[in-house]
């Protein structure tokens, strides 16, 4: 079992107040500022948001599951470049996550690559935790 | 309704057991090139973040904003909310590693509010935090909250 922790402080009301992700258990990042305007408008002002952190969680989880699946099939990747784009509609929530991956995988056929990517999309723990998101898409392509 | 997009990018090199990854917040630049790996995800963190830690941070951000909104709507804007989120991942027979729970702890300083109004705001905030609802579809979400003397 693995437990991972984050500490957040908020001061004031929602619209004019502000928050800080003070620290995380690993110490890997923080403090990071968060506000409602930065979350709910196109211009983030350089501030992260819950949805950006979900994108980060999904991209990291998918990449590991995909690397694991490829290695199990005998083709450990040289390099996987993954992006996750989360669409957030204020008042509704997360409506879509778009995963995109480009892989350098010596000796791998394109069809098998896409199949392994699809399995990682379904099987990674964050995908399972976020299975209630209405739409999760995947674009997987081999490079080089 | 506006549609807001936020994007993160990852580069991974090598197999899963010994390879390593690097994470960047593309939309905002709020963080860049954070390292992560499988051993640090499952065992000692060694200063590296993980998908589950990022989920904990996301849930904490979502719930704190939702609660600030509910308290303000009830006429009691909070002076300060301290929110801790613990995401638990476990190995489930036949299913591998799954996120099984998110445990949220809130300590709040809210001038003038009574226990009943506070409890109602916490419940509404949990119901209104879209991330709580997402996680609850496949795992448990518990929210414990208490008022601090202001």
Contact B131 A93 (CB under 8 A): yes
Residues 6+ away with beta carbon under 8 Å from B48? A26, A28, B34, B35, B36, B37, B40, B41
Q: What is the enclosing helix (H) or strand (E) of B105?
A: strand B96-109
Per-chain mean pLDDT for chain B: 95
| pLDDT for the residue B1 | 63
Q: What is the enclosing helix (H) or strand (E) of B125?
A: helix B115-128
- Which pair of tokens denotes residue A49? 């948001």
Using pLDDT thresholds of 50, 70 and 90, give the confidence band for residue B67.
Answer: very high
Beta-carbon count within 10 A of A134 CB = 11
Q: At how many degrees (to 10) do helices A50-72 and A110-123 cross? A: 130
The CA distance from B119 to the nearest CA of chain A, in Å, is: 17
Please tell me which of the candidates A19, A76, A88 has its beta carbon nearest to residue B6: A88
ipTM of the complex: 0.96
Closest CA to B130 of B65, B62, B68, B69: B62
Closest CA to A56 of B16, B6, B112, B75: B6
| pLDDT for the residue B2 | 80
Closest CA to A27 of B43, B84, B56, B48: B48
Chain A positions touching B21 (Cβ under 8 A) are 60, 63-64
Contact A2 B98 (CB under 8 A): no
> Average pLDDT of B68-90?
97
| pLDDT for the residue A144 | 74
Domains and CATH numbers, chain A: 6-40 (no CATH), 50-142 (3.30.300.20)
Whole-model pTM: value is 0.96
Q: At how many degrees (to 10) do helices B115-128 and B51-73 cross? A: 130
Closest CA to B106 of B97, B98, B116, B118: B118
Q: Which residue stretches of chain A have pLDDT < 70?
A: none
Contact B84 A7 (CB under 8 A): yes
Chain B positions touching A26 (Cβ under 8 A) are 40, 45-50, 53
Domains and CATH numbers, chain B: 8-42 (no CATH), 51-147 (3.30.300.20)
> Over the stretch B102-149, which tens digit does the pLDDT of each residue have?
999 999 999 999 999 999 999 999 999 999 999 999 999 999 999 998
| pLDDT for the residue B150 | 63
């Amino acid at each position: 079992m693995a437990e991972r922790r984050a500490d957040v402080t908020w001061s004031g009301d929602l619209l004019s107040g502000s928050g800080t992700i003070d620290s995380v258990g690993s110490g890997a990042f923080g403090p990071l500022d968060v506000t409602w305007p930065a979350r709910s408008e196109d211009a983030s002002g350089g501030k992260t948001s819950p949805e950006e952190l979900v994108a980060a969680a999904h991209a990291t989880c998918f990449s590991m599951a995909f690397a694991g699946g490829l290695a199990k099939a005998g083709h450990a990747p040289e390099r996987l470049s993954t992006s996750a784009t989360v669409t957030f509609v204020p008042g509704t929530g997360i409506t879509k996550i778009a995963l995109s991956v480009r892989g350098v995988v010596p000796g791998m056929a394109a069809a098998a690559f896409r199949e392994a990517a699809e399995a990682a999309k379904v099987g990674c723990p964050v995908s399972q935790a976020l299975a209630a998101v209405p739409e999760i898409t995947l674009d997987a392509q081999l490079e080089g | 309704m506006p549609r807001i997009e936020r994007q993160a990018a990852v580069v991974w090199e090598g197999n899963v057991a010994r390879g390593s990854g690097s994470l960047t917040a593309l939309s905002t630049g709020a963080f860049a090139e954070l390292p992560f790996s499988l051993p640090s995800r499952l065992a000692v963190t060694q200063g590296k973040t993980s998908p589950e830690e990022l989920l904990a941070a996301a849930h904490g951000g979502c719930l704190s904003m939702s609660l600030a909104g509910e308290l303000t709507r009830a006429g009691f804007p909070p002076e300060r909310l301290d929110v801790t989120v613990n995401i638990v991942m476990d190995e489930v027979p036949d299913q591998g590693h799954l996120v099984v729970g998110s445990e949220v702890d809130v300590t709040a300083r809210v001038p003038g509010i009574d226990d009943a109004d506070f409890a109602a705001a916490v419940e509404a905030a949990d119901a209104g935090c879209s991330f709580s609802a997402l996680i609850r579809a496949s795992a448990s979400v518990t929210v414990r909250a208490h008022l601090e003397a202001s």
